[in-house]
Amino acid sequence: MKTVLVFRTGVLGTWREKYTGIAAFAKDAGWQLQPVDARTVRPDFRKILDFWKPQGIILEASGAPEMFKGERFEGIPTVVMNPAKSVFKDSMPSVYSDSREIAKLAMSELLKANPESLVFVEWFNPSIDWSRVKCDMARDIATMHGLPFKTISPSAADASDQSKLVRRIAETLRSMPKPCGVFAVTDMIGAAAIAAAVKIEAEVPDKVAVVAVDDDPEICENCSPTLTSVRPDFYRLGFSAGRILAKFMEDGMPAKINVPPLGIVRRASTQSMRTCDKKVAQAMEQIRLKACEGISPGDVAHTFGLSRRMVEIRFKAATGKTIGEAILERRLAAACDYLAAGKSSISAIANFCGWESDLAFRKAFKSRFGKSPLQWRKSIW
């Protein structure tokens, strides 16, 4: 059995999904995986290698790539997830989250609000590739639309003091024309952007709309208002890292894979961008949270205190769809997330997403996408 070390540098929430993907491939390949928190062993990589004598290494380098600078791992086949060009050679086997596509999704969401200005909040180390690429793409899109654009560059000290980060963002937001769209490079920074908007009494999302990246529910669902976020395909990122390593161990040929994001999870920090009707915005948030729990159009309509017919007219005027269509859209989006992750059976997904039977789920899915759930899953893998 081959031993593969997996060094991590990123935050725990995103790491879990990446490691689950790696573990899924490792199980099929018959590998023994050994995860190592690189931040706790640096600079003693040699001791870890001598102890485990691995046949392969996966470096999850997105959090702090500089800690691997100068390390060559003694010729052991190595794959890097989200490598930094300043640290790793271009020829190294690697797998990336597609930062350009992530930025396009985030910016297109913000542009739907017809903002008068746009802001990008970088990572604490803006030279990290996944932050820099998103910033460059955001700036290009803002320029293309003729909108004022400002970049906020947090300092290293801001990373350990959230209040400093909030004040830094608030200072910039005060001076920006409103409504303003904010693209935060991670959920943690997005949460700070929401807090900054609240601090300057700029209503979210009407005056300041915020989109972040990673879709960590522990952060996004506990912001007030909740945080819209682009969801990278972390599971597929990990699985692809395993696949590239297996190929590299077999024939020595390096490969690169760019993994597109799964989509955007809309929450209250952008939700009312589609309507000035507060009741409809609240209904959309209710649908987002409870669609997969079996909420019905009647349940949603009841919160308006109006007749069902009047509610449907008001809802469709604001959103372009009926309440039932909005619920179905949310359930199908959740089903796609489960299918893309590749970990759950069709029966389980049907149950998770609120369908009473597999058959009902398959019919609804094929009607919407023109493919069965299994065909759709195979098409993206």
Q: What is the 3-state secondary structure (H, E, C) of 238-288?
A: HHHHHHHHHHHHHHCCCCEEEECCCEEECCHHHHHHHCCCHHHHHHHHHHH
By residue range, what is the domain housing residue 251?
3-96+233-260
Residue holding tokens 């290009």? Answer: 140
Distance CA 332, CA 321 (A): 15
Residue 288 confidence (pLDDT): 84
Low-confidence residues of the chain: pLDDT under 70: 11-12, 42-43, 70-71, 272-276, 380-381
Q: Are strands 256-259 and 228-231 parallel, antiparallel or unpaired?
A: unpaired
Residue 273 confidence (pLDDT): 44
Task: Give the predicted TM-score (pTM) of the model.
Answer: 0.79
Residue 85 confidence (pLDDT): 79
Answer yes or no: do 172 and 84 share one domain: no
Residue 377 confidence (pLDDT): 81
Q: Tokens at residue 12, please?
A: 């725990």
Answer yes or no: do 19 and 57 share one domain: yes
CATH at 108: 3.40.50.2300
In the three-class reduction of DSSP (H, G, I as helix; E, B as strand; rest coil), residue 296 is classed as coil
Answer yes or no: do 304 and 156 share one domain: no
If one counts the domains in the chain, the total is: 3
Nearest to 319 by CA among 288, 343, 290, 296: 288
Nearest to 191 by CA among 165, 230, 154, 157: 165
Residue 265 lies in a domain: no
Answer yes or no: do 198 and 345 share one domain: no
Residue 29 confidence (pLDDT): 92
Q: Tokens at residue 120, please?
A: 């990008």
DSSP class per residue in 149-167: EEEE---GGGGG-HHHHHH
Residue 305 lies in a domain: yes
